[in-house]
C-alpha cells in the first residue's frame, strides 16, 4: 500500500508551519511522527494534497517542570515522554500511559501532540488529558491560545484546532496522588478495545477510551464520586451517556460492560474503596 501522491514541504519553525497552513488551507495535513496519519494515507482514507513535515522544528520536543504544571512539547516522542524523569516523578500517569501506546517502534516515532491532534477516540493519551484536566496550547496566525482538554475533542477525528493552527504544547498538572490506567486489548500492541484513565486525590477525573466518537469523560462516574459514592457505585455509572460502536472486537453492550468493570478496577487501583 502506497499513499496517493502529495506535495511535501519540510518546515523548520512553528511560524513556517503556520504560514504553510495559511497558504495551503484544507488541502494540507501536518506530519509529526506519522504513526496515525501515514497508515491512513496508505489506506487512502487520507489523501492530503500537501504534507507539511514538522520534523525540522527542533524546539518543540521537551518536558519542563514549571511548578504547578509540567509542559510537554507537542513533538516529544512517546518514548521520550515514557522515559521522562520529570513526568515519572511529578505526573506518572502520563509517562506510564505513553509507554502503553502501540509498541516500542511506534513509540520511537509517534508524538504526544500528533496523538492528541489526531483526536482518535481509541487512542490512549487523550483520555489521560481529560482525566487530568490538562491544557493544550495552540499557535495560529492570530497568536497563541490555550484550550482545555475537556473542550478539545469535538467529533470523530475532529478537534478544536482551526485549520491554520498548530498544537505546540501540552500542560499537565502535577499529580502524584492516586492514578490508574486500565487498557483492555487482545494483543500487547493493539488499540484499546476499551480503556479507562482515572486520577484521585488532589483532583478527581475519569475518562474513557473507545467508548464513542470522541475521547470522553465518564461524567456520571465523576459526579457520583463528587457526591461521595464508593468505587463500585461510581463505576456502575461509567457507561452512562456513552455510545460505543460495535465491531469485530466487541459489541456496544460488551464495551459498556468493560467500561464499568475497568472503571471499578481503575478507581480501586487509584486508591478508592
Q: Does 144 bind another protein (CB under 8 A)?
A: no
Q: Does 152 bind another protein (CB under 8 A)?
A: no
Binding segment (CB under 8 A) for another protein, from list 2-10, 126-134, 176-184, 256-264: 2-10
In whole angstroms, how close is the CB of 76 to another protein at the nearest point?
14
Residues 6+ apart with CB under 8 A from 59: 13, 73
Q: Does 5 bind another protein (CB under 8 A)?
A: yes
In whole angstroms, how close is the CB of 128 to another protein at the nearest point?
20
Q: Does 74 bind another protein (CB under 8 A)?
A: no
Binding segment (CB under 8 A) for another protein, from list 36-44, 124-132, 242-250, 259-267: 36-44
Cβ distance to another protein smaller for residue 7 or 151: 7
Cβ distance to another protein smaller for residue 185 or 245: 185
Contact with another protein (CB under 8 A) among 188, 227, 228, 273: 188
Contact with another protein (CB under 8 A) among 24, 152, 179, 191: 24
Cβ distance to another protein smaller for residue 41 or 74: 41
Binding segment (CB under 8 A) for another protein, from list 34-42, 123-131, 145-153, 158-166: 34-42
Place of cell 518536558: 63
Cβ distance to another protein smaller for residue 36 or 180: 36
In whole angstroms, how close is the CB of 104 to another protein at the nearest point?
6
Amino acid at each position: 500500500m502506497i499513499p496517493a501522491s502529495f506535495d511535501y514541504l519540510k518546515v523548520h519553525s512553528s511560524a513556517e508551519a503556520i504560514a504553510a497552513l495559511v497558504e495551503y488551507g484544507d488541502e494540507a495535513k501536518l506530519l509529526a511522527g506519522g504513526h496515525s496519519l501515514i497508515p491512513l494515507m496508505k489506506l487512502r482514507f487520507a489523501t492530503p494534497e500537501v504534507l507539511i513535515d514538522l520534523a525540522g522544528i527542533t524546539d518543540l520536543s521537551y518536558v519542563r517542570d514549571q511548578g504547578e504544571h509540567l509542559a510537554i512539547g507537542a513533538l516529544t516522542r512517546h518514548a521520550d515522554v515514557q522515559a521522562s524523569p520529570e513526568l515519572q516523578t511529578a505526573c506518572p500517569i502520563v509517562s506510564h500511559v505513553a509507554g502503553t501506546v502501540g509498541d516500542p517502534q511506534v513509540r520511537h516515532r509517534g508524538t504526544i501532540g500528533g496523538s492528541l491532534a489526531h483526536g482518535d477516540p481509541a487512542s490512549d493519551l487523550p483520555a489521560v488529558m481529560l482525566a487530568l484536566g490538562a491544557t493544550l496550547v495552540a499557535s495560529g496566525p492570530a497568536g497563541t491560545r490555550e484550550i482545555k482538554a475537556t473542550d478539545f475533542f469535538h467529533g470523530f477525528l475532529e478537534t478544536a484546532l482551526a485549520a491554520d493552527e498548530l498544537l505546540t504544547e501540552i500542560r499537565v498538572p502535577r499529580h502524584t496522588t492516586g492514578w490508574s490506567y486500565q487498557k483492555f486489548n487482545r494483543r500487547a500492541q493493539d488499540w484499546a478495545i476499551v480503556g479507562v484513565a482515572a486520577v484521585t486525590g488532589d483532583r478527581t477525573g475519569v475518562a474513557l477510551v473507545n467508548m464513542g466518537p470522541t475521547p470522553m469523560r465518564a461524567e456520571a462516574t465523576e459526579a457520583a464520586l463528587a457526591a461521595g459514592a464508593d468505587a463500585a457505585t461510581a463505576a456502575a455509572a461509567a457507561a452512562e451517556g456513552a455510545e460505543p460502536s460495535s465491531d469485530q472486537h466487541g459489541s456496544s453492550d460488551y464495551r459498556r460492560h468493560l467500561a464499568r468493570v475497568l472503571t471499578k478496577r481503575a478507581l480501586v487501583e487509584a486508591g478508592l474503596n
